[in-house]
Chain A
Amino acid sequence: MSLLTPNPGLIFWMLVVFLLVVFILAKFAWKPIIKGLKDRENEIQGALDLAERTKSEMVKLKADNEKLIIEANAVRDRILRDAKEASDRMIAESKDRAVVEGQKMIESARDTIRNEQHAAIAKMRKEVAVLSLEIAEQVLHRELKDKESQEKLISDLASSARMN
């Protein structure tokens, strides 16, 4: 049957035309089409990957931030504590020092007072001695004249001495 007998001329033309079509389409159609499709797929995949990566980065960043905040809080607390301690220590120290200083000043004031006292007492003793001597001298001086006037003199002297 002629229907089942391939015609050599037709085979020849088929080969020529088909191979030409394959060649032309492969070079000018399939290459850009497949490349375009692949590029687009890569682009979409890349965008999805980027979103995923950004998301995980955000989560990490958030975690980092929290960690940083906690650390910063800890540091702040420590600094505050340290500062408080330092100030407490300084206050305590200065208090101690002030007490010591005060003591010292009181001590020295007391010394001075005591010295002054001693000096005053010594001076007074001297004065009293001198006064007594003067009184004694005058008494002795008057005794020689009358007894009455002598007594009067003594009481006068005594009262004036008390006035001092």
Chain B
Amino acid sequence: MYTPLRLFITTALIAATCFFNLPAQAQESGHDDKNPIADTVNKEEHEIEHNLEESEQKFNIGQMIMHHIADSHEWEFSHGVAIPLPVILYSADRGIEVFSSSNFHNEHHEYNGYHLVHGDSETIEPVDHERKIYDFSITKNVASMMLSAIILVLIFTSIGKAYQRNVGKAPKGFQSAMEIVILFIRDDVVKPNVGKNYEKYLPYLLTLFFFILVNNILGLLPGAANVTGNIAITMTLAVITFIIVHINANKHYYLHLVKPTGVPAPLLLIMIPVEIVGVFMKPFSLMVRLFANMTAGHIILLSLFGLIFIFQSMFIAPVISLFALFLNFIEIMVAFIQAFIFTLLSSMYIGSAIEDNHSADHGH
């Protein structure tokens, strides 16, 4: 995902430098008499490489994008404006250690025997490589996730109170605004797909929808974390759905895995592995779909903004800003669609595992 992009940018840069440097090179080559062609070519190549290095040092779009979509130990709003976050480390010999990530702000990014490594994403490594540490830091993603959790709890407990207060009255204000969404999830997503026992799963699926939605939307704000575009988050959500499905699945579901109905015996050799792969494929697709959609959206937006810095031109900025604005609207739509799809597929997945009559579609 990252390499082709880098290749593309590099090629573009080489082309640009060639184009802009050609007249200068041609003038210079006029002075040289010895080995004119080879020298010119060598010199040109050297120049190109030099320029390339220089511009890469100045602005590396690949690094910039990776830096923005990856997790971090501090919450950086813009260059130099950052909130340090707590670092929590566990190691067998030292136990739990808690300190601020601002301690790494020194020349070697080193503190207390730990080294902050900037790669594609930040990791904390012990200076002594013998030691094994577990990093439970409150990173940017964790902090953003906690923020969204607080937002969710505040919003929905207040709505819950509104329902207790206005018993037998029409909903009003924010309550009725959210009621539309809640009713949509309940009546159009959960009820038809899960089946008659839907109420047991409704709290989880509603939370899932709003959690993904709030994190998707928060992720679009400038300087925010890319929570739902992180594979650890989507994996956890997919695994929770997977566990819920397999705790509640009835015997038809398990029987179907080892003995699919209407399949001739020789085909079972193929069908059983396919069915079993399918079981793991569903949460895997949930995980990848959300992760890839959100990350792709961020990469596209960041690439667009990166173009401004690559061209270093004032005139390209308004065009790109307009295009980025358009893409931002699309990303808002994607934020809703992905939350909806994750919830929809989770309910279909649960529904297919708990339905009594197993002749219907299984959602694959």
Q: Which residues of A contact B164 (CB under 8 A)?
A: 32, 36
Contacts known (A20-B149, A25-B207); A31 close to B168, Cβ less than 8 A = no
Contacts known (A2-B121, A3-B120, A9-B134); A33 close to B141, Cβ less than 8 A = no
Contacts known (A3-B295, A39-B167); A11 close to B236, Cβ less than 8 A = yes
* Residue of A with least CB distance to B89: A9
Looking at the assembled complex, report how far the CB atom of B10 sits from the nearest CB atom of chain A, in whole angstroms. 18
Docked complex Cα distance between A28 and B186 (Å): 18
Interface size range on B against A: 35 or more
Q: Which of B146, B156, B159 contacts A17 (CB 8 A)?
A: B146
A124-143: which residues lie under 8 A (CB-CB) from chain B?
A: none
Docked complex Cα distance between A34 and B139 (Å): 35
Q: Which residues of A contact B199 (CB under 8 A)?
A: 34
A30 to B202, Cβ gap below 8 A? yes
B211 on the A face (CB < 8 A)? yes
Q: Which residues of B contact A17 (CB under 8 A)?
A: 142, 145-146, 149
B223 on the A face (CB < 8 A)? no
Looking at the assembled complex, report how far the CB atom of A36 sits from the nearest CB atom of chain B, in whole angstroms. 3
Q: Which of A15, A26, A28 contacts B236 (CB 8 A)?
A: A15
Docked complex Cα distance between A164 and B226 (Å): 160
Looking at the assembled complex, report how far the CB atom of B14 sits from the nearest CB atom of chain A, in whole angstroms. 25
Looking at the assembled complex, report how far the CB atom of A8 sits from the nearest CB atom of chain B, in whole angstroms. 7
A18 to B183, Cβ gap below 8 A? no
A25 to B152, Cβ gap below 8 A? yes
The 8 A CB mask of A28-62 against B (1 = contact, 0 = none) is 11111111110110010000000000000000000
A21 to B207, Cβ gap below 8 A? yes
Docked complex Cα distance between A32 and B240 (Å): 24
A18 to B71, Cβ gap below 8 A? no
B223-256: which residues lie under 8 A (CB-CB) from chain A?
A: 230-233, 235-237, 240
B179 on the A face (CB < 8 A)? yes
Looking at the assembled complex, report how far the CB atom of B65 sits from the nearest CB atom of chain A, in whole angstroms. 10
Can you show 15 pairs from A to B with CB atoms below 8 A apart? A1-B2, A3-B70, A10-B232, A15-B236, A17-B145, A18-B240, A21-B149, A21-B152, A25-B152, A25-B207, A28-B160, A29-B159, A37-B163, A37-B179, A37-B183
Enumerate chain A interface residues (CB-CB to B < 8 A).
Answer: 1-15, 17-22, 24-26, 28-37, 39-40, 43
Enumerate chain B interface residues (CB-CB to A < 8 A).
Answer: 1-2, 66, 69-71, 88, 119-121, 123, 134-139, 141-142, 145-146, 149, 152-153, 156-157, 159-161, 163-164, 166-168, 179, 182-183, 186, 199, 202-204, 206-207, 210-211, 230-233, 235-237, 240, 295
